[in-house]
Amino acid sequence: MKTNLLTLLSLTLLLSVSSCTIEVNDGTDGTVTAPGATSGVLPDGSKLPNLITGNLTVKKGNYTLEGIVKVADGATLTIEAGANFIASTATTTSLVVLQGGKLIATGSASEPIVFTTANKTPGGWGGITIYGKAPIKAVNGNASAVSEDGNAITYGGTDANFSSGILQYVRTEYAGKKIGDGTSETNSFTFYAVGDGTILENLVAYKGTDDGFEFFGGTVSAKNLVAYGNYDDSFDWQDAWSGQNNSNWFAFQTVTGNFGMEIEASANIDNTAPKISNITLIRDTNTNPEVAGSVEISAIQFKRQGTGIFSNVYISGYKNMGGKNAYAILIQDDATNTNQVATNKVVVAPLNYLNSDNTGVWGYAQTNGGKTFTNTATVTKVTLTPGAWATVDGVNLLAGLQ
């Protein structure tokens, strides 16, 4: 009888270690799951599983992200305030929410959710990517396209109101990884066809080597965004992204940076202009484009039928460089000017353009431009509340707004 009991205990222990769905009791919060589980509560100090197929909760604590972690269709990854993740730089690492999956990441101003790396080197991992079910207009008006994040996932849908979850007070650091095939790359935050049922608020993209935030179509809106020190564009979109309720976007470009905003609609004339109120774009004096002599030194660029209705825009620090002119607004092609600027689907007003070159005029890379503007002194910088959510290694990322 004693031998049978020991055998049973040994078998139970073996199952609890080897199975990713066996639950154990932690003595405080109820049930948790063994490391590698895809549902339940992940123990502090664990590594996120690479495929999440159930409802997994991550509480305040320290965790590891290694490889491409995917939240599957029908699954929900819930991350609570104060959770910190160290992303591996030894392999291609990113957090990807697949179409139909959900990410509920609700940090707070004092206890943000942070994704970073141990070596604190820009471009060390792939950032956060979300795939939704909202419509897109890709090249030639196509309703679907293949992602450029290295995962080669087809995106695009029909549900403009779909929710992919909630991201509040989330910061990504040192992301935006360049991928070895020469054509693929990820951003600190990437939103593919994300619907306007998704909540995006108080997000920080810190020192990524591609864009801070990029939207590929979809209808989602975002509030209180901070893009700090990203190598490419601070904000970027294509595939006719059409978010209508955006506000309080702040970019601080330093050391390396291209456009403050790069805007296109994948050459689709018929697109719905997104709307953003309260934009502040500041370029530090030491900032150079990724490629010396590049034209990518203006604050806002529109091309390939890109549109946008922007109000209360404050821009500072955009200077001529490398024989190229820097502008508050640069229109890159005649088609965009004819079909979008002239039809009032490109509006940047009121605007206050300070400490910069070429004040009072829009830039035109082609032939038929000529729009001018008058600085409006009543436009001031965006107001955002400082706190741990926007502080990295003791540096207040919002200092430029003071």
- Whether 252 is in a domain gets the answer yes
Number of domains in the chain: 1
pLDDT in tens, 234-256: 999 999 999 999 999 999 999 99
- Whether 43 is in a domain gets the answer no
pLDDT in tens, 264-301: 999 999 999 999 999 999 999 999 999 999 999 999 99
Average pLDDT on 171-196 reads: 89
- Whether 17 is in a domain gets the answer no
- Whether 121 is in a domain gets the answer yes
What pLDDT, on a 0 to 100 scale, did the predictor assign at position 35? 55
- pTM for the model stands at 0.91
Of 18-32, 303-317, 353-367, the range with the lowest mean pLDDT is: 18-32
Of 22-31, 49-58, 112-121, 156-165, the range with the lowest mean pLDDT is: 22-31
- Whether 278 is in a domain gets the answer yes
Q: What confidence tier does 368 reach under pLDDT thresholds 50, 70, 90? A: confident
Mean pLDDT of the chain: 91
What pLDDT, on a 0 to 100 scale, did the predictor assign at position 61? 98
Of 29-38, 42-51, 95-104, 118-127, the range with the lowest mean pLDDT is: 29-38
In the predicted model, is pLDDT for residue 171 greater than 90?
Answer: yes
What percent of the chain shows pLDDT beyond 70?
Answer: 90
Can you give the chain as a three-state secondary structure string? Answer: CHHHHHHHHHHHHHHHHHCCCCEEECCCCCEEECCCCCCEEECCCCECCCEECCEEEECCEEEEECCEEEECCCCEEEEECCEEEEECCCCCCEEEECCCCEEEEECCCCCCEEEECCCCCCCCCCCEEEECCCCCCCHHHCCCEECCCCCCCEECCCCCCCCCEEEEEEEEECCCCECCCCCCECCCEEEECCCCCCEEEEEEEECCCCCCEEEECCCCCEEEEEEECCCCCCEEEECCCCCCCEEEEEEEECCECCCCEEECCCCCCCCCCCEEEEEEEEECCCCECCCCCCCCCCCEEECCCCCEEEEEEEEECCCCECCECCCCEEECCHHHHHHHHCCCCEEECCEEEECCCCCCECEECCCCCCCECCCCCCCCCCCCCCCHHHEECCEECCHHHC
- Whether 367 is in a domain gets the answer yes
Domain limits for position 340: 50-393
- Whether 399 is in a domain gets the answer no
- Whether 16 is in a domain gets the answer no
